[in-house]
Amino acid sequence: MHNRQPHAVAQTRSAQQRSRFKLMMALPFTILALALMAAVAKADTIKSHGISTFGELNLPADFPHLPYVNPDAPKGGEISIWAFGGFDSMNPYSIKGRAERLASAHFETMLTGTADEIGAAYCLLCETLEYPEDRSWVIFNMRRNITFSDGSPMTSDDVLFSYETFLTKGLNSFRTQLSKKVEKVEALDEYTVKFTFNEGIPTRDLPQDVGAIPVFAKAHYIENGLDLEESFLTPMLGSAPYVMEKIEIGQTSVYARNPDYWGEDLPINIGRSNFDRIRLEYYADYNAAFEGFKGGSYTFRNEASSKIWATGYDFPAIEDGSVLKAEIPHGDKATGQAFIINLRREKFQDPRVREAIGLMFNFEWSNETLFYGLYDRVNSFWDNSPLAATGMPSASELEILQPIADKLPPGVLDAEAYDQHVSGARRQLDRKALRKASALLDEAGWTVGGDGMRRNSDGELLQVTILNDSQTFNRVINPYVENLKRLGVDAVHEFVDNAQMTNRERPPNYDFDIVTGFMQTSYIPGTELRQYFGSETADSSTFNKAGFRSEAVDHLIEVVLGAQSQDELNVAISALDRVLRAYKFWIPQWNKNAHTVAYYDMYEYPDPLPPYSLGNLDFWWYNAAKGEALRAAGKL
């Protein structure tokens, strides 16, 4: 055995040498293969200054400024607006408390949209982003000079912390959707963050979705013992152009432009954030707010009351030109403002009941008598846009709808898209609508008794309470309630204060029959559709006020999210709109295709304005000479 050992060792060494030789021979080829693989991967990875849902970005990487701003707009002055109700919190991401209206203005995001382009997002906190063609992940390469408002640097650790906080705290419906999208988030280094998305879900919008997550300072959040679940008055520390200067709880808030704002010279910010201060004055009702405006307590008013717009602007400051009144056309879709029916109530489960209740709102009379003909009726969740469903379903829509035919409400496949009843404008009560509503309630088992009231087979009254916290809406709701009573419904207009309203319309309470709210949608809708209309959010979302749930709509939402072209998206949205309208769980109100604004004559704006934003707090500016003249004349 001893004689054989050297030979065995020699064989082993020889084998090792041969292996090393083979490895050395193979190494160049391995390196070349890896290089080729890296080159292919690099070629398949898109690196850009922004991202578009479909098609190309309008702006090149070296754009000097947004096309609709005035790059030479002066900095200075104050703009002041009014806000409804009050506030007791600076946390806009909790269901607890009533957040200050601009509380989210402290924060910036990786990507930001523009006011003249749909589906586009450009780098703000990031310098570039990288993503593969299938958008299964995205890397944000952060700018190195970002600082929070206190001067402390922002790093990928803050981005990661913000994401993880939103994932576990705050609005339940938001974090539920966030967890569905993202598999993991990694801080690759101090200024690079990678989001990897879950498999098996549409990825079209995901880079933009995570690019829209607000970023706040980790250290400040921890040091101040903040909790995103709770109401608090210490603003979270962000990196945006404005910082909180003054708070008078429920009355006044003032934001001051940060002179050391890190992003002042970015092309995306040129000509923007022009005011030194933005002030908000809170009022309990529209009339008191209007009197404040007339007296110069605040200086810019976006008028929401048609009566005031038509009859109230005849005060001296208008007559002498100190205050300008203007109608500025816009190209935005309708806001989705509506009476929303709470489907969690057993009495509203029957669509015939919902339709009957909707028939009693006479928009045409309201518009003629109360609104001075200012508004158009809304029918669609995408009203004032080409996305609204019209007429009979197209062949392309039917391809989407027929596979779920057994889950659709009646009339979707074989009737025109459901529109609201057109009433006569001469009388408050439209008798044709009354007869139709009466027949529907009779069919649904709510019959009229000897006292003229409607009851079901158990003897229960059909009671409907409309919850309201705006005195201006009294003149709209009261005639509606009268019409419902003529139908035999025990209808009540319940007026509450802002705090009660907030508490009763939010989860877990949902303590209302009908409430005015917004069913907002977008031109390229994303997972917010699940928060407004998804079954899983019906009892947890602050946005799904109706408690709406439908297998058909859940399916169609996924079709919308999975659309891979603008044409596919248009068809999918029309199909979804058609089905949502068929459920009749909202009573859409009205819309106008122009901004109705009044302001003291010391503000200027680019002409023309972009189609999708008024921008008065964004890219308008202050004319110092005019402002001084108004003050010298005692107008302010």
Count of beta carbons in the 10 Å neighbourhood of residue 606: 17
Q: What is the pLDDT of residue 23?
A: 34
3-class secondary-structure state, position 47: strand
Statement: residue 569 has pLDDT above 60: yes
Is residue 161 within 8 Å of residue 186, measured between CB atoms?
Answer: no
What single DSSP character describes residue 137?
A: E
Q: 218: which residues sit within 8 A by CB, 6+ positions away?
A: 157, 158, 161, 162
Q: What is the pLDDT of residue 30?
A: 43
Q: How far apart are CA 102 and CA 88, in angstroms?
A: 13
**Predicted model pTM:** 0.86
Reported confidence tier of residue 527, pLDDT bands at 50, 70, 90: confident
Statement: residue 4 has pLDDT above 70: no
- Strand-pairing partners, residue 468, are 495
Q: What is the pLDDT of residue 36?
A: 39
DSSP 308-364: HHHHT--SHHHHTTSEEEEEEE--PPP--EEEEE-TTSGGG-SHHHHHHHHHT--HH
Q: Which residue has the higher pLDDT, 588 or 171?
A: 588
Residues above pLDDT 90, as percent of the chain: 85
Q: What structural domains and CATH numbers belong to the chain?
A: 344-591 (3.10.105.10)
Is residue 618 within 8 Å of residue 255, measured between CB atoms?
Answer: no
DSSP 569-586: HHHHHHHHHHHHHHH--E
Q: What is the pLDDT of residue 323?
A: 97
Backbone phi and psi for residue 443, each to the nearest 5 degrees, phi listed first: -60, -35
Q: How far apart are CA 47 and CA 45, in angstroms?
A: 6
Reported confidence tier of residue 19, pLDDT bands at 50, 70, 90: very low
Reported confidence tier of residue 11, pLDDT bands at 50, 70, 90: very low
3-class secondary-structure state, position 546: coil
Q: What confidence tens digit (pLDDT) does each residue in 62-89 have? A: 999 999 999 999 999 999 999 998 899 9
